[in-house]
Structures are given as structure tokens and as C-alpha cells.
Amino acid sequence: MSIAAGSPTATPVNCLTHAPTGPAAATASRGFFYSGLFGTYTYKWKTPLAYHGTCQQFTLTLTDGSAHSAHSAYFAF
């Protein structure tokens, strides 16, 4: 299985409801790695400064059509 063309994406969402608040945008990858030792995948990417103060839904779509999402909040502490 591999990553579908145009994936992954980040979509701005409401921090409470996770409802989309804007269009999805492709992310800029710094590498996609698989660790056979741990059986895990790692996707490295640099978060844009424009994400500060927002919540985003990261969606990875595979060539089999399955989509896997995670939500993140970007706030400075």
C-alpha cells in the first residue's frame, strides 16, 4: 500500500466541533518512513507558521481509498 496522489492534506477545523472551516491543502513532506523494528510509520513535515492559533485535521489517504485522520491544535505556550 502507498500514499495516494495529493495526500496527505491539512484542513482547518473548528477546535471544538472539528467541523471544517476552510479548504484542505496539501502538506509539504520532509519524508515518510517505516520502522520494521516498531511496526510504525513516521511522516515528517514542517508545520506552517500560519497554523498558529488554529486547529487542523491531518488526513492521509492510501491508494486503497482508506483515509486516516488526526486532529491537532497549534498554540504557543
What is the pLDDT, as a whole number, of residue 45? Answer: 81
Per-domain boundaries in the chain: 9-70
Give the pLDDT mean for 49-77.
91
pLDDT of 3-55, one tens digit each?
888 889 999 999 999 999 999 998 877 777 888 899 888 888 888 888 999 99
pTM: 0.80
Q: How far apart are CA 42 and CA 26, in angstroms?
A: 17
- Between strands 40-45 and 29-35, the pairing is antiparallel
